[in-house]
Amino acid sequence: MKATATAHPNIALVKYWGKRDEALILPHQSSLSLTLAPLSITTTVEWGQEEDQVELNGKAAEGGERRRVVELLSRVREEAGRPLGGARMVSRGDFPASAGLASSAAAFAALALASRAAAGLPRDVRAESVLARRGSGSACRSIQGGVCVWRRGERADGEDSYAEQAFAASHWPELRMFVALLSRAEKEVGSRDGMRGSVETSPYYPAWAQDAEAEIPRALAALERRDIASLGELAERNAWRMHATALAANPPLCYLLPGTLEVIQRVRHARGQGLKAYFTLDAGPNPVVLTTADALEDAERVVREAGAVEIVRCHVGGDATVQVHV
């Protein structure tokens, strides 16, 4: 009745930006991501309690945070088909919010894995990915490692909208990513509201969704060839297109800071001189640089000179893991 799971966050190269069903968390378009090791979140779930207890990084969760966890636990209670009681859930991340990466992907992936395993449900990557998705969309891409593709799916019940591994981490061991941290401030508009604003008011939204879907096979082809230039260029234009969509919303959503453009310009300039480094941007100001091991030091120097206050190094990580306690 007790299990512990560990999952990594992920960074999308073809971004998820917009829901066609907010309750089920179904996207308008497919997305593709790299698993970010060594960052991880470890979560233990133990069923058989009087009531649900949710502890995140040493503190009892409250409000919306607690509600999202309890909703996921209740889905496992339904699926188990036998009384499980309440769950004691304890979760801890080894990367602070100041790493500039959303923790919800790793958090809900670890929770989905641990809660199902502790309930005695057999491992099932697809069911785990669907369950994680219901907690936070991008979490469905953190069940497996390497490169994962979250397919949009066609069904109204969302059962065909889950992520699958396209390449294992071992496919391209030289690939590197790092976060160029510019700001630790909470963003004013979270992803959930930002997406909704973009879907409902941005005139560019249909073009965004159509273009992102079409980029998936091109991203897979570049990954297959281990072609950093094609993959990097694709990641950059996809990030710009997501931000263009958000900027065109009403009210407009600008997640960028002046320092973001400074990093981007310096990376582009260094590339003109032969450095193999590219960037992507989530719904925040901190660029994530995509490069290869041989170019890592030079890329980091460029980004530090551009004003990054901290660099968080990552490599492509493996599958989320789970252990049942006996």
Chain residues binding ligand 2P0 by CB under 6 A are: 12, 15-17, 25, 31, 102, 104, 136-138, 191-192, 282-283
Residue number, 102 or 303, with CB nearest to ligand 2P0 = 102
Neighbours of 70 (CB within 10 A): 17
Residue number with CB closer to ligand 2P0 (148 or 267): 148
Least distance from ligand 2P0 to the Cβ atom of residue 141, Å? 8
SS3 178: strand
User: Is the link from the previous residue into 9 a cis peptide, with omega within 30 of 0?
Assistant: no
**Token digits for 130?**
């669907």
Q: Is the Cβ of residue 282 or residue 319 nearer to ligand 2P0 in the bound state?
A: 282
Q: How far apart are the first and last CA of the chain?
A: 8
Shortest distance, position 175 Cβ to ligand 2P0, whole Å: 18
Sign of the torsion formed by the C-alpha atoms of 250, 255, 257 and 263: negative
Nearer to ligand 2P0, 86 or 190 (CB): 190
For ligand 2P0, the closer CB: 16 or 278: 16
Residues 146, 257 contacting (CB under 8 angstroms): no
Query: By C-beta, is 1 or 256 nearer to ligand 2P0?
Result: 256
Position closest to ligand 2P0 via CB: 137
Q: Which phi and psi (to 5°) does residue 13 adopt? A: -95, -30
| Shortest distance in whole angstroms from residue 102 CB to ligand 2P0 | 5
- Whether 114 contacts 72, CB under 8 Å: no
Instruction: List, as own/partner pairs, every contact residues 61-68 make where C-beta atoms lie below 8 angstroms and the sequence separation is at least 24, other chains included.
Output: 68/108, 68/135, 68/136
Closest distance between ligand 2P0 and the C-beta of residue 269, in Å?
A: 25
Residue 304 CB coordination number (10 Å): 15
The Cα angle at residue 206 between residues 202 and 210, in degrees rounded to 5: 140
Residue 255 CB, nearest approach to ligand 2P0 (Å): 9
Question: Least Å distance between CB 76 and ligand 2P0?
Answer: 18
